[in-house]
Amino acid sequence: MDYNSIDTAIPTLGEATIPSPVQSKESRVWGQRFICDDERVIIDLDLKRLKERIAAGKEIPSFEKAGPRKKIYFDPSKLKCALVTCGGLCPGLNDIIRAIVLELYHCYGVKNIFGVQYGLQGFISKYGLDYIRLKPDVVADIHEMGGTILGASRGEQDIREIVSCLERDNIGILFMIGGDGTLRAADKIAEAVREKGLKISVIGVPKTIDNDIHLVARSFGFHTAVDIATTAIKAAHKEAEGYPNGIGLIKLMGRHSGFIAATTTLAQQDVNFTLIPEVDFDLEGPKGFLAALEKRLEERKHAVIVVAEGAGQKFFEGMEKIFDESGNAKPMDIGPFLKDKMTAYFKAKNIPINLKYIDPSYIIRSLPANSNDNVYCSYLGRDAVHAGMAGKTKLIVSRWNEEFVYVPMWVNASEEKPKQVDTNGKLWFSVLEATGQGSLRNE
């Protein structure tokens, strides 16, 4: 992405004129420092490029810093807010809901907070879904549970009906928690709201366990996924060690990006081969994966393989693609494919193997967030509230260069290709060093 071409201005609904209650003497956070809109976080920290732009008299691209503003746009006593969770499950969804509700209720005094059931379906009349009234006692312990208390769904819904529902129910701030499809829908909703001249703020909290959203340094749930995936690797490693020519094969999440597979490999360095979507590999041939695996078994008598779900898709060329309810192409199942190929390869060579295949994906997605993600979610939720209360709209809350920032929603809505592992970067080179796997290409 060309950072220099990004328009980072954050739209607002109008002038914020109401003194924020966050620093009132009745507030529980007396002494809170307010953030000014002109406090910025530089996008690109490359010193050489910074010097070149300064020398040329060009503006330094930056994001607006997240946090509470001195003046707010909405009157908390009259405000109604709605929260919706969309797409697949992810550790931390309940943590985000909890953080938003507690911040609205206790720090801003907003009492009318509603949860929308089962994603965007909750706005559509034909589904007959009521709002869930969200108060501190309702969300007090939900961070200890996996999933989302609001439910979720996939698939497009009528934007006009969603906006009509928001208008009819006098919703002032809509918090949308979801992945790239959700953020695209949020951008369309915010644009439809603007076209109708409504004063509704739309705030996005980016969610993807794969950590593949542009201009989001880390998405919530990612650390939990890595944490739990290491357990699968430990199990696979012990299974592989326990038998002659033992092989442990673990499939992890990552349709387009191998961040979980790569990071988990480094977190539990018992892995000998890591296969990710960003790096091509061959199966057959003298330098292909199967030959490298055979050599590993000859030398060490066991092997552990981690494969991201989107790796090796070239082996399925010509097959009919499968799409989920949101219209996203689902990768073909590389795990069973590799298992069958390995089994056939060694059988043809009359080499006995003991292969164990582990797919912990749905266990990982549905579990509660760990303490690291719990803290991270609390930051994201609070900063989402600060943005909405100040009348900001069409933004997502992000972490960038060690600061929480507001990123224009259109940036992610317009990106077709997810963020991917830099195959010339430190993460991937560290994986290569840890596994010693080489290129696995015949070229």
- One-letter amino acid at 72 equals I
Q: Buried b vs exposed e over 103-123: b needs ≥16 C-beta within 10 Å? A: bbbebbbbebbbbbbbbbbbb
Active site residue 422: no
How many Å apart are CA 226 and CA 160, to the nearest integer?
39
- The whole-angstrom distance between residue 165's C-alpha and the CA centroid of its chain comes to 27
For residue 118, is it left (φ>0), alpha (ψ between -120 and 50) or beta? left
Cα–Cα–Cα angle for 423, 60, 409, nearest 5°?
Answer: 70
Side-chain-side CA neighbours of 338 within 13 Å: the count stands at 35
Nearest residue to 391 (alpha-carbon basis) of 60, 75, 78, 42? 75
SS (H, E, C) the chain: CCHHHCCCCCCECCCCCEECHHHCCCCCCCCCCCCCCCCEEECCCCHHHHHHHHHCCCCCCEEEECCCCCEECCCCCCCEEEEEECCCCCCCHHHHHHHHHHHHHHHCCCCEEEEECCHHHHHCHHHCCCCEECCHHHHCCHHHCCCCCCCCCCCCCCHHHHHHHHHHCCCCEEEEEECHHHHHHHHHHHHHHHHCCCCCEEEEEECCCCCCCCCCCCCCCHHHHHHHHHHHHHHHHHHHHCCCCEEEEEEECCCCCCHHHHHHHHHCCCCCEEECCCCCCCCCCCCCHHHHHHHHHHHHCEEEEEEECCCCHHHHCCCCCEECCCCCEECCCHHHHHHHHHHHHHHHCCCCCEEEEECCHHHHHHCCCCHHHHHHHHHHHHHHHHHHHCCECCEEEEEECCEEEEEEHHHHHCCCCCCCCCCCCHHHHHHHHHHCCCCCCCC
The residue annotated as part of the active site, out of 210, 212, 270, 383, is 210
Enumerate the β-bridge partners of residue 65.
Answer: 405
By annotation, the residues acting in catalysis are 210
